[in-house]
Amino acid sequence: MLKIAIAGAAGRMGKTLVNAVMDAGPDVRLSAATVEAGDPALGFDVGLLAAGREAGVKAADSLARCEADFDVLIDFTSPAALAGHADYCREHRRSLVAGATGLGPEHHALLAAAAEHVAVLHSPNMSVGVNLSLDLLRQAAATLGDSFDVEIVEAHHRHKKDAPSGTALAMGRAVAESLGRDLDACAVYGHQGIGDERNRETIGFATLRGGDIVGEHSVIFAGPGERLEITHKATNRMTFAQGAVRAARWLAHKPPALYTMTDVLK
């Protein structure tokens, strides 16, 4: 029996993860869940909160205060919260599936440090379709080469705080690597005013935020006389949650290392 803990169980993604784990089958059990200190859900059954059915798991304000043990933690919270959770998993030898975006170099360093002791999987997007699109983007970039301009457009709901999204950056990185470029050096985050004509060596990003858009990403290869667009649209967060549960199953018995969703799918 695989025992899974959910961090941030009162959030939009957290509730979806609770549902996904509860519906994952008899070999998986939700055993622990956390919410922020002071959250109204503290002490309540997270199953009732997320799905209107009892899970037998009460929300705690930290992993240390959870009533039951767990094998794998799924964390889609925030960079700040992820840092503490990565430390906890390292110290207590628990595997970690991290889906938080907006991570800085210091957060990636913490995940790498934890991965020296436990199995850690980090991916900005757990969707099977998105991870397939990364392979398609590498192939398209390698085939089209430097003769096409590359622009990436992403859209998310009004509550998303980081921009561009982690998925958009992962797509940009996949294209840049195939073209032999450094994304940090060639990325352009928006066009404004009057300036020089477009430099073909750059990769452009455009960000949209509004309403309840779950997540949409398009990579546009614009060349002379033709345009290729590779697009992924998510219509339900359950896509990401089911991918995370699949990742947790795969990660449960893996040796300490830093993995990605690509490893799961292959």
What count of Cα atoms within 13 Å lies in the side-chain half-sphere of residue 36? Answer: 10
With CA atoms as reference, report the closest residue to 189 among 166, 208, 174, 207: 207
Tokens, residue 191? 């066009």
Burial class of 256 by CB neighbour count within 10 A (0 to 12, 13 to 18, 19+) = middle
- Which one from 160, 191, 254, 266 is the annotated catalytic residue? 160
Specify the length of the chain in residues: 266
Whole-angstrom distance, CA of residue 226 vs CA of residue 44: 56
Measured at the CA of 167, the angle between CA 220 and CA 215, to 5 degrees, comes to 85
The answer to whether residue 156 is catalytic is yes
| 67 DSSP β-pair partners | none
Tokens, residue 141? 């970039």
Whole-angstrom distance, CA of residue 127 vs CA of residue 197: 36
**Coil/strand/helix, residue 158:** coil
- Which one from 107, 156, 217, 232 is the annotated catalytic residue? 156
**Coil/strand/helix, residue 150:** strand
**Catalytic positions, written as ranges:** 156, 160
